[in-house]
Amino acid sequence: MDKFVTSFFNILFPKTCVSCENPIYDKNNILCSDCFSKLGFTYYKNFVENPLYEKFIGQANIEYAYALCYFYKDGILQHCLHALKYKGHKDVGTFFGKLIGYELNDIDPPVDIIIPVPLHPKKEKVRGYNQAEMIAKGVSKVLKIPIAINIIKRTKFTETQTKKTKWERYDNLNGVFAIQNSKSLANKHVLIVDDVITTGATTVSLIDLLKDIENIKISVACIGTPDKI
C-alpha cells in the first residue's frame, strides 16, 4: 500500500493499544501514551550493580545485566508479553527491543553480537517464531550489530543422547542448550536477550555454555524482571 492509502486505512482502522485496546494513531507504537507511562521502567541503565546483575553474582561472570521494566502480574507489561507470545504480535518484541537498544547504545565495551535465548523447536513451530528473536531484531536495528543465528539451539536431553550431531552437547541439571561454531564468538562481547528473566536459571545455563570461549564477554538484557527478586 502506498503511504496515503496506509494513513487513510489507519484512520479508518487504527491500531489498538495491546494493553487497553484504545486506538493509537502512531503506527510505530504498540501502546497508548497512558499505558506506556505506566510500564514501570527500571532505569537500571545508570545502575550497574542493579538487582538483576546481583542475581548473577556467584553464578556467572557478566559485564552488564539490564532489564527495561519491572514485571508485575496483571500489569501493562504482562499484557504486552502475552500479545507477543500468544497473539502473534511480533511487533511488540521489536518495539521493546528498540527501547533496549537505545538504552544500551553507549555501554562500554560495546556489544558485538546478540544471542536471543532459543526456544525449543517444537514450541517455536507452534508459535511461528521465537519471541526473543523479535526482541533481538529491535536491539539489532538500533545498535546496528548482528544477531547470532544457528550458534545455539535449545535441545532435549534425549535427543542429544541418541543422536550424534555436530552440536556440542551440554548437559547440566537443566541440559537444554547446545552450541556449534563457538569459535565465531571468540573475542566478542555478546548480549543475551530474553523476554523475562525471573530466577535467571535459563540464562545461567546459556552462559555456562559460552563462558569458556576465548576472551568472550557476556551481558544480559531482557524486557522485564520482577521488582522483588
Q: Other CB atoms closer than 10 Å to residue 2's CB: what's the count?
A: 7
Residues 132 to 191: which contact Zn ion by CB under 5 A?
Answer: none
Give the residue, chosen from 20, 113, 142, 179, that forms a contact with Zn ion under the rule CB under 5 A: 20
Give the chain's length: 229
- State yes or no: residue 92 binds Zn ion (CB under 5 A): no
- Give CA–CA dist 101/89, Å, rounded: 19
**Shortest Å, Cβ 7 to Zn ion:** 21
DSSP characters over 136-155:
HHHHHHHHT-PBP-SSEEE-
Percentages helix, strand, coil for the chain (3-state, rounded to 5) are 40, 15, 45
- State yes or no: residue 35 binds Zn ion (CB under 5 A): yes
* # residues contacting Zn ion (CB under 5 A): 5
- Give CA–CA dist 27/10, Å, rounded: 8
- State yes or no: residue 30 binds Zn ion (CB under 5 A): no
- State yes or no: residue 32 binds Zn ion (CB under 5 A): yes
| Options 10-18, 120-128, 178-186, 193-201: segment touching Zn ion (CB under 5 A) | 10-18
Task: Kindly tell me which of 20 and 113 has the beta carbon lying closer to Zn ion.
Answer: 20
SS in 3 state form for 109-134?
CCCCEEEECCCCHHHHHHHCCCHHHH
The grid coordinates of residue 226 equal 520482577
**Shortest Å, Cβ 155 to Zn ion:** 39
**Shortest Å, Cβ 87 to Zn ion:** 15
Residue type for position 45: K
| Options 9-17, 159-167, 180-188, 202-210: segment touching Zn ion (CB under 5 A) | 9-17
| Options 19-27, 85-93, 175-183, 192-200: segment touching Zn ion (CB under 5 A) | 19-27
Task: Kindly tell me which of 24 and 221 has the beta carbon lying closer to Zn ion.
Answer: 24
- Give CA–CA dist 59/77, Å, rounded: 27
**Shortest Å, Cβ 34 to Zn ion:** 6
Residue type for position 120: H
Q: Give the residues lining the site for Zn ion (CB under 5 A).
A: 17, 19-20, 32, 35
